[in-house]
Structure 1
């Protein structure tokens, strides 16, 4: 320590009065954040935003569900904030949801809130598609006409002349109590207009050792009022009221300890639910504290219980507290037996001989996906018994895996999908044999869902893979499918290819691939033996095919080009080949015609005209034209020419439709290539038929069959 006075005199001290060095020790943060101001906002038919505050920087997450099961979690927001907002999505319309919020500070101390309730809108309650993500207009909420639900009504801190009445509602509302010595009541407390979920109302001026009747009233912000049934309590005798206050303080401490006790039972990773459908009595810590002040000589069951925890398809744990040591009994039965008296059909479980104030009973052998009624009971060592009301819970479904599929299979990847009937994690084991050896799973195995998608990458082409899927549910049960297989397709390969000059500026490239692919050609000129990349050109066809044909243009005679051909399949796998350099040049070799063939038939529905198909081949791509005339004698003045087809090809087909039946015709075929090399065939004759012959029949005979009666006039054939 250092100190300096106004005259700049400095004093330094590093030891205490015993001569030991001065030290201090920091304390470890072991307290979780204090959660407050929890509210559901922007509620639509399929989403809701939950907001809350913490007294220190902490993470944000919401756990929620329906029917007493908390199987859903929002994605953990690890950003440390004091103001929290989390959106629950994919909710069902017109559905009640229970939820709680979870925040963890930087030291790892976690706090879990009480249970809260919300109800999503129905499909008709929103204008357009309501959204809380900023898309579209905000949902329009219909007028609230539903009164609050009142539950957990109790008389606490009963003295000789006073009592405190407590209750809970499922929505914020006012507080008032009517009371008197009969069911006509006659007295009432002043209305507390503060809108609360947890209600406390003090009664004073009562008469000692007197039985009182009372009922509670609560009205929500829309003016909807709920009124409870009739309840009773009896004030103490004057001699019994001494020490009440001291006992109440002690019970308040016990109620606080119970919150920690329930937290130890509440296991979020095993699908635990701290709610019962009817009894969400822990919705307010305040109410729990008030109830703990109740004083009597029987084991009072506090409003902070019973609590449902650690639920699975076949087990559930019930927890509660009592004001004095007592044993722990749970009576339960399937709800389907509800017509029978509870005493006649229930099953009892618990510890009959151990007397404690904090109780937990594990129920085993339950049926999956079943609603159970239950009641907790506690008896002290003097034989005095108390019991809770009848509540219920629903066990989880028995987990199953179904619809396992492999899809989007490429040469190096595949997508595995499957479904589970309850939220569970996702993992795929795969490999070249039934021993697998590799796995793909979600991050840390903590993403619980019913629709599972897992991508497999780095696979080998043309290989059979074995796989099976596994999912672990919130209760820790592992589900595994049977062995299944899929085969990866081959990667694209480029096979035989050819290139031919069409014109001085164009060439045609042809190639084949083993799988359907698109077509791309890249070509770059050399100038003075140097590759000029700045002049590179490319042609591309997106259509998928096994046989590829591309025409490249802009060639210069005498210039050599580097040429690459590329093909990519549907899944993005590609193949490329660099072919030998190609030099554009004028082709002066004679153009040749071969395989001249003709087929004809009478046109359907017309006996006077013939349809004739004439085909031939050329040694390189060239145009197509036919020169013909009626009769055997050649007369240039009567020749007819078909329109010139300038498309350059090696396989030529021309159709004549103006020939007459039973007539002789002379014809020649002619072609001109891209370098103006021309060729005309020798003379051919044909005889059109007299009888009707359908064009389908002509085609079926095939172009390959020789037209036997075509005469080669020059050759005498």
Structure 2
């Protein structure tokens, strides 16, 4: 089973297939970049329906996937032999005309020597940037309308034509200019047709062959290589001479890779190392040449004394790691890529400066400021641990906190702060060999929540204080989730009304761990009490009511004797004689 499809730009070929739309099987990806795609699926079961979809990726590795399709195999297996006619000729484009030029539109027409699709690349510079036409067309007479143009502007354009074998033809770059307001259209631009057919000279024929080879598809070349071993004229030629001749021819006709715009790019820049990446439009090797600013000499044939990389790999995405650099130093570099045959692609001279060995602190952000904490993020140019000096501007008190982890991307929460208070913080970065750098002093103010404190973990302990007059000591403790005051409301007896009229003195210190000690309670009595805590904003919180029974005083031996006598004499007084 053969699956064929087209894309609107050069891309790879792959098919996923299976008994359901979950697929589960795929063909080996064909990394050949083409707009005409074909994949063969083998090993299928007869009389079975299969689901499939096609996938392609362009030279920048951007993927696209078709929707789901189905096909059914036959009841009995058959063998289909597909014979292809070798077509080495790219379509020849002629009779180019620009018609109906207006302020915001124009029409371009042309003819091709064979059926081909219809594509025009156009734009306000030779980089074009826009594409119009029909990628699926198959005709020799072509018309494309360009719309949404800018008036009074010169446009560059180039025509492309792909035939059914994938051979590419293209025109020279041409231009036209849209009309200004009120301007009359110029005469139609038309190519002058050939007056008579002229027999080409041998030199012209060689150039024609080279152009034909340049525009031929990769599939055409593959078919040539398949037939070469069958040519009896090659039997007497040594392998060395044959390979040398092919290499020499390839270097003349194969264009060098193109380094994609936006590359090369420096990544992971550090004091002593850096990574350089770039992307090419065809598989090629990865070479980087390097020189410090002192050693760089552009007047020499080789301005860069250091060469590194991988000369044997063939990739689209290139990466070279450079190590052993000097810190805080300017370097010149150039990346180079070459496919198996052809010339070198070179980026031209580029520069980078390595980072300082002393850490630089940057990109400091206050991510979250709360009542008692603040969350900071920041970055350092090399891994460091961090120390913090926090100053309370209302008291002048300083505190220190530390993050011992060696990191480049940092995050830390400073705690134990006071609500609604002005602070400053300074970050100190220590690298692994003890070098220290510091950030600017950064001010911030903690927030103040409108929510009252939350009271929890209440404990009440009572005991008798010995003495002539025995007293009760009550220790009442609790916690709040934010700093707050401490106060107890209470009343003797088991009461039910809402207000408790008696209180302990207000402790105005704002704390989270509270303790109130009072001796106002009497022995052997029941009391109802309630806790109050108020934060710095005046938001008050109250606990539920608690009921306690204070302990009774213990009786002494003398108390027991007196009580015994009272009971005896009380009994005698009740007797009659």
Normalising to structure 2: TM-score of the pair?
0.31
Normalising to structure 1: TM-score of the pair?
0.26
